[in-house]
Amino acid sequence: MRNLGSQVEIVGICDLNLEQAKKLASEFGVPNVYTDLSELLDKQHPGIVDICTPPKSHAAIALQCLEAGANILIEKPMCQTIEECDEVIALAGKVGRQICIAHSDLFYPSFTKARQIINNGEIGTFRGMHIHLSTPTDYITSKPDHWAHKLPGGVFGETGPHVVYMTLAFINPILDAHVIGRKLLDECPWSPYEDYRVSLVGEKATCTATMVYATKQWAGTVDLWGTDGSLRIDLQSQCLVHSRREGLRAIPVGISTIGEMAQVATSAASTALSYLCGRRTQTHQELLKAFCTSIEQGTASPVPADEGRETIRVMSLLSEQLDGAA
């Protein structure tokens, strides 16, 4: 938020943990600290409230902020149920305030570029996609008291929305959804599963996804394919590779491989230069900038509440399957 200059002024932080709130306020130069949201809303009258609490509290906080006249940015997942989403959407419409859902991965430069390539028809007719996410065990899974374990489907409820909303960027609506969970870590009895295989089916394309929590590795890749080519996104390195391979003879395979390697090298160099020159921005920064602009100009939210609701609808279908199998 500090990097948005005159567009945003941070007026306060609210947290039930006063010492943690004071620490953050000191670190980022925020002038006011509160443990009571009502007090913050009454004294500061914020134009935007960023709700980044555990999901079970999203709906109640969102409703309170809307009633106070604030626009709201809600971290994913939007709410825990479709009914909560509908209540928040209805109140926002009644009071004339905007909602934006923090589907932050949509704002990676590589993801944005891939959407442009597909929308321009550069890989032909879109046929499907695969998402692979790996989160190290010690990030959430090994922590018995982490709030994510209390979500529907366990840690799947924390990471799963990323898979769903990235899929919805290319396959919308999702007509059918399936998930299989496997228990791999007996030493983490509080975690129902650590390996998930997901299938999200649209009218003419399907997304499969793997979500792994049983290793020490981070990974985040998205593969997209069409009739005339394919794309691979590395969400962490921001590398985007555009591939074509219509034959298996040595020469076409070699040419395509050299082309892919050149794209990786160019992308890596560009990313490194952006970091060194201070031009690389965070996805949340791009999201918030777009949200502020939409409020100022009276245009649509960059990630409207309907997209958050649809993500929750699909997540509910998947979580019910996991809970039923447990």
CA-based nearest residue to 183, from 223, 225, 220, 141: 141
d(CA 207, CA 224): 9
d(CA 167, CA 160): 11
d(CA 225, CA 131): 12
d(CA 240, CA 232): 6
Q: Where in the chain is the domain with CATH 3.40.50.720?
A: 2-103+289-312
d(CA 205, CA 91): 35
Contact residues for 284 (Cβ-Cβ < 8 A; gap 6+): 102, 104, 107
DSSP state of 80: S
β-strand partners of 201: 176, 206
Q: Is 23 exposed, middle or buried (0-12, 13-18, 19+ CB in 10 A)?
A: middle
Asked whether 183 and 196 are in contact (CB, 8 A), the reply is: no
pLDDT score of 14: 97
Percent of all residues in the chain with a pLDDT value above 90, rounded to a whole number? 88
| pTM confidence score | 0.93
* Apex 10 CA angle, 6 and 13, nearest 5: 175
d(CA 92, CA 86): 10
Q: Per-residue pLDDT tens for 36-68?
A: 999 999 999 999 999 999 999 999 999 999 999
In the chain, the N- to C-terminal Cα span, in Å, equals 41
DSSP state of 76: S
β-strand partners of 100: 73
pLDDT score of 23: 95
Edge to edge, what strands does the sheet with 71-75 contain? 48-51, 71-75, 99-102
Q: Tokens representing 244?
A: 């074509």
Q: Give the CATH H-level superfamily of domain 106-262.
A: Dihydrodipicolinate Reductase; domain 2 (3.30.360.10)
Sign of the CA dihedral 272, 277, 278, 284?
negative
pLDDT score of 7: 77
The position carrying tokens 């983490």 is 188
Q: Where in the chain is the domain with CATH 3.30.360.10?
A: 106-262
Q: Give the chain's radius of gyration (CA, Å).
A: 21
β-strand partners of 128: 206, 225
pLDDT score of 1: 59
Q: What is the CATH number of domain 2-103+289-312?
A: 3.40.50.720
Task: List, in sequence order, every beta strand (DSSP E) within 168-297.
Answer: 176-182, 195-201, 206-212, 219-226, 229-234, 239-243
pLDDT score of 223: 98
| Weakly modelled stretches of the chain, pLDDT under 50 | none
Q: Is 64 exposed, middle or buried (0-12, 13-18, 19+ CB in 10 A)?
A: middle
